[in-house]
Structure 1
């Protein structure tokens, strides 16, 4: 029969290298320690240690059992802490977002994990409709999406907003709608919606629909869309999050516009399932950091 205490005794024995010191540390008798080790070896069907005088030597099975035992108790502690919804810096977080959001949110979360080793975050990149389905199935606890979701079993709240940027090749010299139509449009998931919103606000007299533009290509990976723009293949409209994290920043430029339009991001989670406070700290921390970054010094 599996007994976690036998593994705990075994870990202590390996760390102390002595039956006597193990008994003292665990407040047991030395025969009691020996009994735990024998029962663990019987359970596993393998010898775990060899005695050489007063020394103990681990067998190959013993080394593997020690590694497993350490992992077992580490996961146990993570699980135990994860059950406490009031803990801010420990426990598991399961989050999903489109790539355009994750480009900056995920690196921020990794930084938080570096500072808080007991914080475990599983982050997935997915499209809005996939996130909705996976939230309902329990795969994620929260989703950050670029469109409001209406579903009786989901709560959808405005969370954050970022300016949209009209991005053109670095050597682009035009500024009119006709100039943009001349080089064509690079599309991606959400690209048409973003372009419609920004161009309508800034070229109200001339703009009708993105269907009037020559489409130069499509990629489902928003992180790559500026590569096409950098090569002079067309323009696109992306969130500032995407532009700021792009390796092609020097090969493209943002076209100055008079009217700003924001992309609104929404936090979605299952109705009737209040989020642990660690989620609130993560999301609030990100928005506070973005506010600082956008405030002129």
Structure 2
């Protein structure tokens, strides 16, 4: 891999020549020389620098974006070549949306580590849109997102059923009603995830299916924050059964049962559109298929 690109990317991310030199075990003048040489090759100034900060120029933004992709391609190529002679090993960058990443993926990685201890996984958690973009830009080897998902630049495969449930505080008046109606739900304060998340998409589909729009809506960017807010009595929400199993077992939240719920959905894994996969990625996907029964749950009404 071109060392000039590696130095440039590190400067762009560290935003500091001294920290870059320390990270790459170089002298600071050497870092400056690499940047200057790259700027001469590209024919444009890439970095603005003064005593307080380092930032990219518009040309620098373009080079940074493509340099990251080039570095990812190089790493992928090297891993494929190494796999010809070695067992499954090396780095595996996994991205996952919040529900899968926080409540299911740890079980999968633990099983994977037991079978393939030489694989070194790193995990990035984000919403569905963020994870898909990272896989498409080759910053991640594989992503797992919530719901059905299609992308023209990615391979996708749906797997593993999940159930979305309405949750309310344990002492909420609706828990004592014999029958919960749509008007009951409409007037409640709903706490939902941000746009771009799979859970928000599932929530919007639920509103449409039941035929109402909430009178009051609060948007939070964390499933954990939503659960704690529901426990505190701030409102009600619609989350994965996997995400609320602990709270339900402790009796701090209640799963509201009414016609039309819970609603099933699928998780989807996404990979780059290429015929080549590293051995580490192959065995991870095999492990996901093998362990589908681990994170496929039955209808919580039963």
Normalised by the size of structure 1, how large is the TM-score?
0.61
Residues in 1 aligned to 2:84 and 2:166: alpha-carbon distance in whole angstroms: 42
**Is the Cα contact below 8 Å between 2:168 and 2:230 reproduced in 1?**
yes
Rate the CA distance shift 1:149–1:195 in 2: closer, same or farther, 3 A.
closer
How far did 1:148 drift?
4.4
Unaligned runs of 5+ in 2: 1-77, 175-179
Instruction: Summarize deviations over 1:169-194 as a string: whole Å, max 9, x none.
Output: 11123222233233310111345432
1:224-235, aligned counterparts within 5 Å?
Answer: 224-235=225-236
Question: 1:271 aligned to 266, 270, 273, which one?
Answer: 273
Provide the residue aligned with 1:153 in structure 2.
153
Q: Verify the 8 A CA contact 1:100 1:223 in the aligned structure 2.
A: no
1:289 alignment partner, SS class: helix
* Cα-to-partner distance string for 1:176-214 (whole Å, 9 max, x where unaligned): 22332333101113454323333444x4xxx23x3x421
Counterparts of 1:1-297 in structure 2, within 5 Å, are 83-84=82-83, 90-115=89-114, 116-174=116-174, 175-189=180-194, 190=197, 191-201=199-209, 203=210, 207-208=211-212, 210=213, 212-215=214-217, 217-245=218-246, 249-259=250-260, 260-275=262-277, 276=279, 277-291=282-296, 294=298
Q: In structure 2, what is the equivalent of residue 43 of structure 1?
A: none
Q: Secondary structure at the match of 1:168?
A: strand
Paired positions, count: 211
- 1:32 matched residue in structure 2: none
1:92 to 1:225, Cα distance in 2 relative to 1, 3 A: same
* Corresponding residue for residue 29 of structure 1: none
Supply the RMSD in Å over aligned alpha carbons.
Answer: 3.2
> 2:203 aligns to what SS in structure 1?
helix
What is the alpha-carbon distance in structure 2 between the residues aligned to residue 86 and residue 100 of structure 1? 36
How far is 1:157 from its partner?
1.8
The offset of 1:87, in angstroms, is: 7.7
- Residues in 1 aligned to 2:85 and 2:273: alpha-carbon distance in whole angstroms: 19
Runs of 4+ in 1 over 6 A off after TM superposition: 79-82, 85-88
Partner SS state of residue 171, structure 1: coil
In structure 1, how many angstroms separate the alpha carbons of the residues matched to 2:164 and 2:105?
A: 20
Question: 1:165: Cα distance to partner?
Answer: 0.5
How far does the alpha carbon of each residue in 1:225-261 deviate from its partner, in whole angstroms, 9 at most, with x for none? 1111111111100111211255995211111133342
Residue 279 (structure 1) shift: 1.8
Note closer, same or farther for the CA distance 1:81–1:265 as it changes in structure 2 (3 Å cut): same
